[in-house]
Amino acid sequence: MAVPRRVVVVGAGPAGLTAARALTTAGAAVTVLERDPRPGGRSGVAELRVDGQAWRFDRGAEFIASFYRSTRYLARQVGLGRRELVRLPMDSRIVLDGRRHPLPTGAAAMLRTPLLSASTRRRLAGLGTRLAASAPRWGDLAAATDLDDEDAASWFAAHVGRDYAERILPATLDALMLSPADRTSRAVALAQVAAAPGAHLYCPRGGLGTLWESVAAALDVRYDTTVVALRPDGDRVHVDTAGGDTVTADAVVLAGPPSLGTALLPADHPDRSLADDATFSPAVLLHVALAAPAPVPHPVSPVGPGRHPLAGVEPLEIRGTGQVPDGRGGLAVCASPQLGAELLDEPDRPIRSLLLAEAERLLGQPLGDILGWSVVRHRYGVPLFGVGWLRRLHARDAALRAGTHRADRIQLAGDWLASPSLEGAVRSALHACATLLHS
């Protein structure tokens, strides 16, 4: 194994920080260049301060699932073990035709819920039996190419029940993952169904950004630094920044959305076409600081046929992670991917007015006294794993193993290369590091 002497990682989000830590552990001198003033990227902290009090909202990803093995291992490595992770309540509600219902999460709840017909529940039980014997693994979605043949909405409507496709999938895919079921491969939905029984969700105290702050603290991270060009030069790569500096390295890891690859990869790089073709759901969120706890003690999402303006509404204080000042409330209002695409370039105030009105309409009651608010927007919110994307990732993995995929000194990492999740970002980074160290 040859360890590069000097590596530059572009991006201090989950993928970039994971890669930087792994390469540092392997013996490389690593510098992370990050355009933002703090770590975490889409999984960082959006702090809202009002009268000296701080609300620590999550900018995007909000949890570590119990089946996120690589992410949980990383958390333990930086001192965030079981005692430091808060187990989050899994007591969500869905709104169907104006009425609020508990979202069934476990297998037993699915088989009892009145939201599904008896025939749908029978087919769902049969699906669970088949998945128990052979299911796509969340940690290796690219291996599930035989299931990457139809979108989740169509497949579940035909093989499980239209009521499941209209009442459950919108909550688990559209709302939880910002992955519209009609634009998501059934392989992703089946992996989620297989992993869900017995799963738990966790978050560090202070929010998910605490994890990335802990990882970044032990690394050389240069914030407020935008990379504008990569210039391969024999056995080196020159990395140019917007500030006029150049950092020379033996290897580079581009860790971020595919737009980073489109902007910086050489035209002949084997991953250039993959970066060009990747698609994302945008994410637009309204964070609200409330004078008192939120009027509902659980997350709420709309379901049913047709388009919904919101993905969901989540009270922050119910998490028990200390992200809200004592006695106060916090609310995260997330636009649906469709509405988010329309709002991306709108001013903050119209977004605030619209999302507040939609949140009160969804909850059926006023939110209470608002102390402060902020809008967070991600043009590249969540990668879309549409039909065929996993087959492309599988072909890439096969070419890497065969040595025919010659990425040489520039490797890519990001959730869009593994799975639409925090675990996907972490695993893709570890994969990129392994490829780099063995090349």
Paired sense of beta strands 227-233 and 45-50, if any: unpaired
Collapsing DSSP states into helix, strand and coil, what is residue 94? Answer: strand
Quick one: CA torsion of 194, 195, 200, 202, rounded to 10 degrees? -150
Angle between helices 209-217 and 69-77 (to 10 degrees): 50
Q: Is the pLDDT of residue 1 over 60?
A: no
Is 88 inside any structural domain?
Answer: no
Is 417 inside any structural domain?
Answer: yes
- Among 133, 162, 195, the domain-final residue is 195
The percent helix, strand, coil of the chain (3-state, each to 5) is 40, 25, 35
Q: Average pLDDT over the chain, rounded to whole?
A: 95
Number of domains in the chain: 3
Calculate the alpha carbon distances from 364 to 100, 133, 166 in Å. Answer: 10, 43, 21
Q: Is the pLDDT of residue 403 over 70?
A: yes
- Residue 48 sits in a domain whose CATH number is 3.90.660.10
Residue 135: what pLDDT?
85
Averaged pLDDT for residues 391-405: 86
Tens-digit pLDDT profile for residues 94-114 = 999 999 999 998 888 888 999
Residue reference for tokens 């999550």: 58
Q: 15 and 150: one domain?
A: no
Q: 323 and 352: one domain?
A: yes
Residue 404: what pLDDT?
73
Residue 256: what pLDDT?
87
Residue 106: what pLDDT?
81
Residue 3: what pLDDT?
75
In whole angstroms, give the CA distance from residue 372 to residue 49. 8
In whole angstroms, give the CA distance from residue 154 to residue 189. 12
Q: 35 and 49: one domain?
A: no
Give the pair of three-digit tokens for residue 111.
Answer: 């088989």
Averaged pLDDT for residues 40-51: 95
- Residue 151 sits in a domain whose CATH number is 1.10.3110
Q: 129 and 162: one domain?
A: yes
Q: Which residues of 318-327 are buried (b: 16+ CB within 10 A; e: fewer)?
A: bbebebbbee
Residue 324: what pLDDT?
98
Residue 107: what pLDDT?
81
- Among 164, 195, 226, the domain-final residue is 195
Q: 264 and 394: one domain?
A: yes
pTM: 0.95
Tens-digit pLDDT profile for residues 147-165 = 999 999 999 999 999 999 9
Residue reference for tokens 């699932």: 65
Element (H, E) at 131: helix 118-133
Q: Is the pLDDT of residue 132 over 90?
A: no
Which residues, 6 or more positions from 397, have their beta carbon under 8 angstroms from its beta carbon? Answer: 142
Is 1 inside any structural domain?
Answer: no
Residue 408 banded pLDDT, cuts 50, 70, 90: confident
Residue-range definition of the domain harbouring residue 144 = 93-195
Q: Which of 191-205, 217-231, 312-326 has the least mean pLDDT?
A: 191-205
**CB neighbours of residue 120 within 10 Å:** 21
Q: 393 and 269: one domain?
A: yes
Q: 251 and 335: one domain?
A: no
